[in-house]
Chain A
Amino acid sequence: MPEPDPDPLYERLRERIEADRGPIAWLRARPTPARHALLATSGIAVVTTVTLLTHSTLEDASLTFVIGLGALGLLAALSMAAALRPLFERGATPRGRLVSGAGVLAAALGAVAIGGTDGWGPLGGLSCFWVGAVVGLPVFALSIALDRAGWRGPLFGALSAGLVGLIAIQIACPATQLTHLLVAHFGALLVATLGFGAIGALVARRA
């Protein structure tokens, strides 16, 4: 079988590279530590904004609550790193992604539950559920913009957005009843991850 002429192959590559311009291409070409820093900054900005617009529960927080919050922050950082993993590093298998995603969700569930010091009780308001489910949108959008491969990161981008939303409402919401924390707070994480993940899968399929 004859070797293909490398010139047309190279010319098509040049066309693809020439088409890869604009602010998003510029963002994607930043070194990976800079992309991580940008995404982390967007997460911090979201949490700070929600806290400023509502109020912070950190002043009266118990040690276990702060530990849970720290664990959520660590999970968000890991998730962001996975969302932006460069293509020259071997990615996880689909099963690996599923297992690690499930592990993060289980750890988040534990981190939320340890703040439930008032036991089970009435559900309370659901406003933090809606806020937590959508407030991570800028983080998700930025993770898509910074993802170079176009198909590897969306699920972890969605998880990162959900975790940022969860951290924001954990800080802003004073409720300490398990029912409220599991349904309104952890539920927001699940809805954000699934919702943004579905959008990300559509974006990846069109890429």
Chain B
Amino acid sequence: MAAYVAGEPRAHRALFERFAPTLLAVARRQLRDDAEAEDVVQRTFLALHRARNDFRPDAKLRPWLFTIAMNLVRDTFRKRKRQREAPLELDGRRDPTVDANPVERAADAELVHRALATLPEDQRVAIELHWIEERPFTEVAAAVGASVSAVKVRAHRGYKKMRLWLETEADLGRT
């Protein structure tokens, strides 16, 4: 990042290649739309470019990028909500996509997706970043702007709800 701020042209591409795949996976999982996810990633790096002079050399870049991306994901949800409220609006989004993350390639990926979708946003984000993206709680906390203990509580409550939901689904499947 220091090289990028100093004007080194290759540094930007290196940052993009390092962080874009993870951000794209997170954005896709949240938005379930390839085009919107790619737009979020582009806008995240555009925001990083505009904010490059704010970056402190001792700061970590990943939490910065995650926070920007999560803010833009929320903005996209708000835009969607506005579009749904508009009459006769054509929905040009593509079909939902399945993420290529190894965890989700498991046999019960669809069930896990559905269980995650039942959670409130704050719990879902905490679990996705910590469990699926394997980010430490300190980074998740920085990304969502909450304390580490608050994020742990959210994740704990989310896991509990998911377990209950999955058990109920399994019971329904047996009957």
State the main secondary structure of chain B at its contact with A: helix
Q: Is the interface of A mostly helix, strand, loop or mixed?
A: loop
Chain B residues whose C-beta falls within 8 Å of the C-beta of A20 in the assembled complex: 46, 49-50
In the complex, which range does the number of interface residues on chain B fall in?
20 to 34
Q: What B residues does A29 contact at CB under 8 A?
A: 49-53
Check B46–A13 contact: CB distance below 8 A.
yes
A28 within 8 A of B: yes
Q: What residues on B are CB-neighbors of A32 within 8 Å?
A: 51, 54
For window 1-30 of B, CB contacts with A under 8 Å fall at 13, 16-17, 20-21, 24
CB A14 to nearest CB in B, in angstroms, measures: 8
B138 in contact (CB, < 8 A) = no
Binds B, one of A70-78, A82-90, A160-168: A82-90
> CA A149 – CA B68 in complex, angstroms?
10
B143: min CB distance to chain A, Å: 8
Task: Give the residues in chain B near A31, CB-CB below 8 Å.
Answer: 53-54
Q: Are B50 and A89 closer than 8 Å at their CB atoms? A: no
Q: A89-B145, A94-B78 known; A1 and B97 CB under 8 Å?
A: yes
Q: Confirm or deny: A3 has a beta carbon within 8 angstroms of a beta carbon on chain B.
A: yes
Q: Are B21 and A12 in contact (CB under 8 A)?
A: no
The CA of A28 and the CA of B52, in the complex, are separated in Å by: 10
Asked whether B34 lies within 8 Å of A4 as measured between CB atoms, the reply is yes
A94 to chain B, nearest CB (A): 7
Expressed in whole angstroms, the minimum distance between the Cβ of A145 and any Cβ of chain B is 13
The interface size bin for chain A is: 20 to 34
Q: Is the CB of B144 within 8 A of A148?
A: no
- Tell me the chain B residues, 29-59 only, with Cβ under 8 Å from chain A: 34, 38, 41-42, 45-54
Question: From residue 31 to 71 of chain A, which have CB atoms closer than 8 A to chain B?
Answer: 31-32
- Which of chain A's residues have a CB closer than 8 A to the CB of B53? 29-31
A10 engages B13 (CB within 8 Å) = yes
Beta-carbon contact of A87 and B20 below 8 Å: no
Complex Cα gap A107–B50 (Å): 34
A interface residues, Cβ below 8 angstroms from B: 1-4, 6, 9-10, 12-13, 16-17, 20, 25, 28-32, 86-91, 94, 148-149, 151
User: Can you list 17 pairs linking A and B with CB atoms under 8 Å apart?
Assistant: A3-B24, A3-B100, A6-B20, A9-B41, A16-B42, A25-B50, A28-B50, A29-B51, A29-B52, A30-B53, A32-B54, A87-B51, A87-B67, A87-B68, A90-B67, A91-B71, A149-B47
